Amino acid sequence: MDFDNSSDGAALPEADRPAIVAVSRWRDLDGRSGSRAERTVRVTLPAEGKPYDRRSFVDHIGTIVGVGAIEAIGPSNQSHIWSITFETAAAKQLFVAAGDFFIGGRRAVVAGSRPARTVVRVHWVPYAVPMSVVTAEIRRISGHKVLSANFETVAVGSHSHVVRTLVRAITLECASSSASIPHVVTWKHAGAMGEALVTVRGRASACLRCSSTLHLRKECDAVKCTSCRKWGRHATADCPTLSSWTIRTAPEVITDGDL
C-alpha cells in the first residue's frame, strides 16, 4: 500500500511520517468486530456547557471499560454532541449499560447510535383500511415510534406479476423482545371494525382468546365473563365492572334519622 506523505506538494517533516502511516494501517483494520455503527454510541450534553474536551470523556470511559477500548472519539457538527466508537460491540454494551454520567456537573446522556428496530407483521386487516389506521393503533398501544410501513408482496402467474398481500410489515423503533408489542390490535374505519393479529419473528405465539403464551386458542379452556366479555380473567360474579355497576345502582337505604 502506498501512502501520500505530502501536503500541497511539500514533504512533511520526518517526525510526522510515522503518525500518518499508523493512521493508514488503523483504517485497514476497520470491521474487525462488528460494523462501526454497531460499536458506536452518541453522548449528548447541555449546549450551555460548551466547550467540552476529550479528557472528560476518556476519564469516565476508563472507569467503565478502560481507555484501551476506545477506537475513535470526537464531536459532531454540534460540539455538545459526541460520538464514541469502541473496539468491540461488547465494550459498547458495557458502556451503554452504565448509563448517563456527569461532566462538570452536567448530565451526559448516553444513547446507542443505531436504535434497535423490529419488524412486526399485521394480519387480517382488509386492504381498504388505510395503513395510517393500523400504524396509529400500533403506536398507541406499544408506545413505540413507527419508522416505516409497507405491504408485503408476492409474485403470481407465469409472468411473475407482483401483487400486494394483506400482510403489513411495520418497522418499530424497539427491541424485538419488547413486552409492549401487542399480539392483537383492534382497527376501526368507516363504521367497520375488527381484530388484527400481530406477529414478531422469534416471539412465542399467544392464545387469541385469553392472551396466554402457554397454549393456542384451539387448546384454550378459559371461560368468558358475561359482564365485561373478557376471557379467562375472572368469573362473572367477580367481575369489577359488575361490582361497580352494583354499587352505583344499589337501592337507597333510609334510616330512622332520615324520617
Q: What is the structure's pLDDT at 201? A: 87
d(CA 200, CA 130): 21
End position of a domain, from candidates 112, 138, 165: 112
Q: What is the structure's pLDDT at 70? A: 92
> Could you tell me if residue 214 is inside a domain?
no
142 and 191 belong to one structural domain: yes
> Could you tell me if residue 13 is inside a domain?
no
Q: What is the structure's pLDDT at 30? A: 47
Contact 59, 130 (CB under 8 A): no
Of residues 141, 149, 186, the one with CA closest to residue 169: 149
163 and 186 belong to one structural domain: yes
First to last CA, the chain: 106
Q: What is the structure's pLDDT at 233? A: 58
124 and 68 belong to one structural domain: no
Q: What is the structure's pLDDT at 115? A: 63
122 and 149 belong to one structural domain: yes
Query: pLDDT per residue over 69-91, tens digit each?
Result: 999 999 988 888 899 999 998 89
Domain total of the chain: 2
> Could you tell me if residue 217 is inside a domain?
no
> Could you tell me if residue 259 is inside a domain?
no
Q: Which amino acid is at 19?
A: A
End position of a domain, from candidates 54, 87, 112: 112
What are the Cα distances from residue 82, in Å, to 47, 54, 111, 174, 213? 12, 9, 11, 23, 42
Q: What is the structure's pLDDT at 258? A: 44
104 and 172 belong to one structural domain: no
Query: What one-character-per-residue DSSP string does 130-178 give?
Result: -HHHHHHHHHHHH-PPEEEEEEEEEEETTTTEEEEEEEEEEEESS-TT-
Low-confidence ranges of the chain (pLDDT < 70): 1-34, 112-115, 175-178, 231-237, 241-259
147 and 79 belong to one structural domain: no
Query: pLDDT per residue over 120-148, tens digit each?
Result: 999 999 999 999 999 999 999 988 889 99
> Could you tell me if residue 75 is inside a domain?
yes
d(CA 10, CA 178): 58
3-state DSSP: the chain helix, strand, coil percent, rounded to 5?
A: 30, 30, 40
Q: What is the structure's pLDDT at 226? A: 75
125 and 184 belong to one structural domain: yes
Residue 184: its H or E element: strand 184-189
Contact 88, 97 (CB under 8 A): no
Q: What is the structure's pLDDT at 186? A: 94
122 and 199 belong to one structural domain: yes
CATH classification at residue 60: 3.30.70.330
Q: Containing domain of residue 57, as a range?
A: 31-112
150 and 100 belong to one structural domain: no
User: pTM for this one?
Assistant: 0.50
Neighbours of 132 (CB within 10 A): 11
108 and 124 belong to one structural domain: no
197 and 122 belong to one structural domain: yes
Q: What is the structure's pLDDT at 114? A: 57
> Could you tell me if residue 16 is inside a domain?
no
> Could you tell me if residue 1 is inside a domain?
no
> Could you tell me if residue 223 is inside a domain?
no
d(CA 154, CA 8): 56
Q: Which amino acid is at 122?
A: V
Of residues 169, 175, 174, the one with CA closest to residue 135: 169
94 and 128 belong to one structural domain: no
